[in-house]
Structure formats: C-alpha cells, structure tokens
Structure 1
Amino acid sequence: MSSNNCNSPNGLSEDAAQQSTGPDISDIRHIYETEAPRLRRYFQARLRSRDDAGDLVQESFVRLVGCMARAELPRPAAYLQRIAQNLLLDRYKRLETRLSAFHVPIGEDFEIAIPPDQAARMEAEDVMRIYRRALEELPQRTREIFLAHRVDELTYRQIAQNMGISIPTVQYHVARALAHIDAALEQE
C-alpha cells in the first residue's frame, strides 16, 4: 500500500467513498492522543532528529485524515502504522537517490575529472542555492517561523509565545515551509 493510496478496505467504490461525510473530529482526536506518542517513539528510534520525528508524525496524521476523508477505515491505527512505514521508506529512498549522485565507481581505467572535494563542494553549493531560493519564495511569516525553528532552534512553544500565535499555527507554518523546500529540492 502506497502512503498516498487510500483504498477502501471494505470494498466501497470511489463514488461511495466520496459520499462519505468524512472523519469525525473526535475520532481523529482520540486516534491522535493514543497513537501520536507511540508513533513519535517509532520515528525517533529510526531517525537522529527529534524534529524530523515530529514532522513525520504530523505528516502521518495529515495523510491519515486524507484517507479517512475518502473512505471509512475500519482500523485507522493500522493504516496509520502503514503510512508511517511508507513515509520512512520514501524518506530512505529519497536519501539513497540523493546520495547515489556522490557514488563514483573507480576502476583501473577510471580517471577522476573533478577532485572529490570539489565535486562535493559544488553539489553542496547547488543545494544551498536551491534552499535559499525556496526560503525566499516563502511568505514572510512562514519564513520567520521556519527560521526560528530550524536556525534559532526554538521549540514550537517558544515560537508560539514569542509571536503570539498557537502551537498548531507554528506547526502549520513549519510543515508548509518543509513541503515547499522539499518540492524545490525534488524539482532540481
């Protein structure tokens, strides 16, 4: 099952799934309260960054709600687990693809045209150029919140208090910035 594919397990057609009234907010809240801590531990055990784990928990629930809006899920927690596994798999595949550009086969007849340090530096400069351009394209408030979180290393709570906004609003802006930057990097 793909992380973006939400087939109805009970055999509903797409038309029947679209006629669904969507997920009940209390159901989503209950699922979040019971599953988010477990999901955070799952991601933290597999990633180095706590921020990345939080981002993936958020992305998992966004995708789950999207699936719940399209079809009735008899076991949403099982779907959530599959979504989480797929997100990690997608993340590792993207990382592997990006790192494959740095792989240089060296054989007897192979001559390196550009020294490895220079090639890596050029690649890093390209990534930073794309990253800066993507940051500049963000709305000012989103950019400020993202930089406060990623550069100044402020927590969501600290940012929310400093800017007089709610924590979910901070989460929204950080997720929006991450999605925009990721899309910019994927395009290159």
Structure 2
Amino acid sequence: MSIDAEHPVPVDSVNAPASAETSAIEFSRIYAIEAPKLQRYFRTRLRGAEDVSDLVHETFVRLLGALDTRNPVRPAAYLQRIARNLLFNRTKRLENRLAGSHVSFDDGYELATPANQGDEIEVEDMMRIYRKALSELPEKTRQAFLLHRVDELTYREIGERLGISIPTVQYHIARALAHIDAALEQE
C-alpha cells in the first residue's frame, strides 16, 4: 500500500466513488501517484524510452476498462499486475517473432502430449469474437488500434501516419480496447 505526503489517504484503500466527478478526481490522484512508479518499473526493464510512455498509458487504459466492470479494492496492486502482464505479453511476442526464424523441429520426435482440440476450438471462438469486435469499430479507431498492435508503432508514429494528435491516438486505442474487452467478456 502506498501513501503520499500530499495525499494522506492510502491509494490502495480506494473503493466505490460516490459520483463520476469523485471518480475522475480519485483516478487523477491515483495517476499522479502511480504513473511515476510505473515509468520507473518499465524503464528498468526496457531499453526504448518511447515504449515506456505507451506502456504506462496502456496500463491506465486497462485500469479504466476494469473500473467499468469491477471495482478493484487495491488499484495500485491492480496496476502492478497489469504492468507485469503487459511486459510478459510484449516479451512473448518478441520471443515468438525471433523463434519463428531460428527454431527447427526434427521429424523424428513426437510431442510428449497430443494437442488438445478443445483449446483449438476455444482459440478459434475467441478470434472470431475478436475479429467481429474489430470490424465493429469506427475506421480511424480500427486503424489506430491495428497500427499499434499489429505494426507495433508508437503513439507518436501512429499520430504522424494518421494526421492526429497523440491524445487522439490514445483515445482511439482506449476506445478499441474497451470495445474488444466488452465483446470478449460477453462470450
């Protein structure tokens, strides 16, 4: 639990705010306290400084999305979990990209356990829902999201390519994430 001298209320003790205005103020307070910690966390684990801002932003976007469906009692801990997951996903994506060109399998070996057909069906269903949710997005929102997730462009690069500001890019990506998350939660 973190406590700041300017903000004597522990960040982790935040619970259901009374109104949208109170919620916005509370979120701003959490951001002011936790964003620098997340920046340090990401900076110590990454080389690129531009990625740090994007990851901090995405961490808070995911927290906002979670606040729509659940109310974490300890938002600071929830943010740390989101940050760890983002780094894990990023690392796995990079490993998969690198491994695809370096790994070769010998035909003489069989897998220790057969593939589970149920897992394949579940993945196919999730991809169907994902594609449908993606197709429902407005064009500019879909473009910004795909440039970020597929082409792995930074917010600045997306803004330059689409001719929009970085806050507008952040808006579009947050909107896409919230829509896709809601679609996956419904299934």
1:46-104 per-position Cα deviation (integer Å, ceiling 9, x unaligned): 9xx9665531134557999xxxxxxxxxxxxxxxx942313556899xxxxxxxxxxxx
The alpha carbon displacement at 1:45 in A equals: 8.0
**Of 7, 11, 15, which aligns to 1:5?**
15
Q: Partners in 2 of 1:19 and 1:131 — Cα distance?
A: 32
What SS does structure 1 have at the residue aligned with 2:164? Answer: coil
Counterpart contact for 1:60–1:84, Cα < 8 Å: no
**Larger Rg: 1 or 2?**
1
Provide the aligned C-alpha RMSD in A.
4.5
Q: What is the number of equivalent residue pairs in this alignment?
A: 138
Q: Partners in 2 of 1:173 and 1:3 — Cα distance?
A: 31
The alpha carbon displacement at 1:34 in A equals: 6.4
Q: Do the aligned partners of residues 61 and 40 (structure 1) sit closer, same or farther apart at CA in structure 2, a change above 3 Å counting?
A: farther
What does residue 184 of structure 2 align with? 185
Q: Which 5+ residue runs of structure 1 have no aligned equivalent? A: 8-13, 65-80, 93-114
**Of 52, 56, 60, which aligns to 2:59?**
56
Counterpart contact for 2:159–2:169, Cα < 8 Å: yes
Amino acid at match of 1:156: Y
1:112-154 per-position Cα deviation (integer Å, ceiling 9, x unaligned): xxx7432111111001000000001111110011001101111
What does residue 159 of structure 1 align with? 158
Counterpart contact for 2:133–2:183, Cα < 8 Å: yes
TM-score computed with the length of structure 1 as normaliser: 0.54
The alpha carbon displacement at 1:36 in A equals: 1.7
Q: Percent same amino acid at aligned positions?
A: 52
Q: Do the aligned partners of residues 173 and 131 (structure 1) sit closer, same or farther apart at CA in structure 2, a change above 3 Å counting?
A: same
Q: Partners in 1 of 2:121 and 2:63 — Cα distance?
A: 34
**Of 60, 66, 78, which aligns to 1:86?**
78
What does residue 150 of structure 1 align with? 149
After superposing on structure 2, the runs of 4+ consecutive aligned residues of structure 1 that deviate more than 6 Å are 1-4, 17-20, 43-46, 61-64
Q: Partners in 2 of 1:18 and 1:54 — Cα distance?
A: 21
Q: Partners in 1 of 2:175 and 2:185 — Cα distance?
A: 15
Q: Which 5+ residue runs of structure 2 have no aligned equivalent? A: 1-10, 46-50, 68-72, 85-113
**Which aligned pairs between 1:27-176 and structure 2 lie closer than 5 A?**
28=28, 35-42=34-41, 53-60=56-63, 82-87=74-79, 116-176=115-175
Counterpart contact for 1:43–1:56, Cα < 8 Å: no
Counterpart contact for 1:40–1:57, Cα < 8 Å: no
